[in-house]
């Protein structure tokens, strides 16, 4: 009995010392901290975007430029100063080349995609894929996107006739699924005729958030080695098999029948033909274009229509601009017309400011890094978290941040935006590769919709909008809209 009690005391003392030491990690480096407690560290039970915005605010209140937090017992560097953030993203990128997010390519080759790859493998692939996203290539996909917006318009007309309220996110995700299905896979998903198509079903499944998924995600991030040993995978096997088959079948069909189309798949096929990419790599890239492309854009459109529904003056001003530009071209939308719609651009940028579809950015320190202007050195292996929501809603950078005001991005005001404070697509060499594609798709959709309908927010929507669970920003309770023909 005596031995057992002694053993328990020793075990407890060792564990206590380990935790104490762990939680003093940032203090030793003289980096400000909050009040971590075992076992969750600084984690609180609120949705992750809000969690990290709150941490941003706490450090801001302390008047510091950066801080250190703990996810469970794992230290995470948390810069809030735009200059430090820009250095990490851009100037000192060589020290932060990777996201450091959990992935398991060995058990799941589909994760060997641009978003997750690291170091030289990422660098080589990024160079190969960059030509895929030039404005010339975007222009080629313009008509495909425009055509995908017509079934969306027809569906809204049907809903107006039947008097049904519009589930904004769902209907917009049908549109963005059709766009990415066409442009990345060369497949007509026909989501509006078949809302339970496999593409839409798997899309829903990938982004369906549950508290369990959120906890699993944090666990994998904090203990990647352990998660790999347990052979955790990020994407369910049936989803992986579906994308494997779709891409392989499309590849074989096109190469055997000499079919050439203006889409991403064509560009991937060409990279495969000259042995630049293997079949697994082609599948992995088509897959990431799908998951990175459709939910982010549907989210942006959902928030945009809800703000326009709440701010009729802004909606009318935008519709006027759209009509004026379209009238110059016999009512037709052309690729070049989008550039003439200056206010449309401002509305989209302001939506991404107030509601960035991705709110948390990850980097991992890949080489020891001395933070400029300090004597603090971050060790290789330390993870970095950056909250775009914190920056975008900081009243020092965007006064009255919860007010939706597209004029912040007018030519006159835009120049006052401090570099590094507006980062909807991230920054530096790992900035979103699909930003042009996502913006063009969003604008085409808004033009088709506003030309035809006036939107209001239905009372079923909880306002002000509250951010919910999810890696991609969601709205608690959803966004419900009413539409009228104009």
- Residue 97 as a binder of ligand HEM (CB under 6 A): the answer is no
CB of 298 to ligand HEM, least distance (A): 9
Which residue(s) pair with 134 in the sheet?
none
Other C-beta atoms lying within 10 Å of the C-beta of residue 224: 19
Q: Binding ligand HEM by CB under 6 A: which of 73, 220, 296, 302? A: 296
- Residue 424 as a binder of ligand HEM (CB under 6 A): the answer is yes
Closest residue to ligand HEM: CB criterion: 426
x/- map, 250-289, ligand HEM, by CB under 6 A? --------------------------------------xx
- Residue 109 as a binder of ligand HEM (CB under 6 A): the answer is no
CB of 433 to ligand HEM, least distance (A): 5
- The answer to whether 263 and 183 are in contact (CB under 8 A) is yes
- Residue 293 as a binder of ligand HEM (CB under 6 A): the answer is yes
Q: Which is nearer to ligand HEM, 68 or 426 (CB)?
A: 426
- Residue 358 as a binder of ligand HEM (CB under 6 A): the answer is yes
Q: Taking CB under 6 A as the criterion, which residues in 299-328 touch ligand HEM?
A: 300
- Residue 297 as a binder of ligand HEM (CB under 6 A): the answer is yes
Q: Which is nearer to ligand HEM, 102 or 289 (CB)?
A: 289
- Residue 26 as a binder of ligand HEM (CB under 6 A): the answer is no
Other C-beta atoms lying within 10 Å of the C-beta of residue 124: 12
CB proximity list for 243: less than 8 A, separation 6 or greater: 110, 202, 283, 286, 287, 290
- The answer to whether 192 and 151 are in contact (CB under 8 A) is yes
- Residue 430 as a binder of ligand HEM (CB under 6 A): the answer is yes
Q: Binding ligand HEM by CB under 6 A: which of 49, 75, 426, 470? A: 426
- Residue 475 as a binder of ligand HEM (CB under 6 A): the answer is no
> Which of 4-12, 54-62, 291-299, 448-456 is the region at the interface with ligand HEM (rule: CB under 6 A)?
291-299
Q: Binding ligand HEM by CB under 6 A: which of 49, 401, 438, 470? A: 438
Angle, in degrees to the nearest 10, between helices 279-310 and 119-129:
70
Q: Which is nearer to ligand HEM, 435 or 456 (CB)?
A: 435
- Residue 433 as a binder of ligand HEM (CB under 6 A): the answer is yes
> Which of 50-58, 232-240, 296-304, 311-319 is the region at the interface with ligand HEM (rule: CB under 6 A)?
296-304
CB of 117 to ligand HEM, least distance (A): 8
Q: Binding ligand HEM by CB under 6 A: which of 23, 26, 102, 115? A: 115
Kindly list the residues in this chain that would bind ligand HEM in the complex (CB under 6 A): 114-115, 126, 288-289, 292-293, 296-297, 300, 357-358, 361, 424-427, 430-434, 437-438
């Amino acid at each position: 009995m005596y031995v057992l009690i002694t053993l328990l005391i020793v075990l407890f003392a060792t564990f206590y010392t380990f935790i104490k030491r762990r939680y003093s990690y940032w203090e030793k480096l003289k980096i400000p901290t909050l009040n971590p407690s075992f076992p969750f560290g600084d984690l609180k039970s609120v949705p992750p975007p809000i969690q990290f915005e709150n941490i941003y605010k706490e450090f801001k209140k302390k008047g510091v430029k950066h801080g250190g937090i703990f996810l469970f017992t794992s230290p995470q560097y948390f810069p809030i100063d735009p200059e430090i953030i820009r250095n990490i993203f851009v100037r000192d990128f060589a020290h932060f080349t990777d996201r450091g997010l959990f992935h398991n390519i060995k058990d799941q080759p589909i994760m060997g995609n641009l978003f997750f790859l690291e170091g030289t493998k990422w660098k080589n692939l990024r160079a190969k894929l960059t030509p895929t996203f030039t404005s010339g290539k975007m222009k080629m996909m313009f008509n495909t996107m425009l055509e995908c917006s017509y079934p969306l318009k027809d569906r809204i007309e049907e809903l107006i006739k039947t008097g049904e309220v519009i589930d904004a996110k769902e209907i917009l995700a049908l549109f963005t699924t059709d766009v990415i299905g066409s442009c990345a896979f060369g497949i007509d998903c026909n989501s509006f005729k078949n809302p339970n198509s496999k593409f839409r079903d798997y899309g829903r499944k990938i982004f369906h958030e549950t508290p369990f998924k959120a906890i699993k995600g944090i666990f994998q991030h904090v203990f990647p080695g352990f998660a790999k040993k347990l052979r955790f995978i990020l994407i369910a096997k049936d989803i992986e098999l579906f994308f494997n088959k779709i891409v392989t079948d499309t590849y074989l069909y096109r190469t055997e029948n000499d079919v050439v189309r203006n889409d991403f798949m064509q560009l991937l096929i060409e990279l495969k033909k000259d042995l630049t990419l293997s079949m697994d790599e082609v599948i992995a890239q088509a897959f990431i274009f799908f998951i990175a492309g459709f939910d982010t854009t549907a989210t942006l459109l959902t928030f945009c229509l809800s703000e326009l529904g709440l701010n009729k003056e802004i909606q009318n001003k935008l519709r006027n601009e759209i009509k004026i530009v379209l009238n110059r071209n016999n009512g037709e939308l052309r690729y070049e017309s989008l550039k003439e719609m200056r206010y449309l651009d401002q509305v989209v940028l302001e939506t991404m400011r107030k509601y960035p579809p991705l709110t948390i950015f990850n980097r991992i320190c890949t080489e020891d890094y001395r933070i400029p202007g300090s004597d603090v050195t971050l060790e290789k292996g330390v993870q970095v978290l950056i909250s775009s929501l914190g920056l975008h809603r900081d009243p020092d950078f965007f006064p009255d941040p919860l007010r939706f005001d597209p004029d912040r991005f007018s030519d006159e005001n835009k120049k006052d935006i401090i570099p590094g404070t507006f980062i909807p697509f991230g920054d530096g060499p790992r900035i979103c590769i699909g930003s042009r594609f996502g913006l063009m798709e969003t604008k085409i959709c808004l033009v088709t919709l506003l030309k035809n309908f006036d939107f209001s927010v239905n009372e079923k929507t909880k306002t002000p909008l509250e951010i919910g669970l999810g890696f991609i920003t969601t709205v608690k309770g959803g966004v419900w809209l009413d539409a009228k023909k104009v």
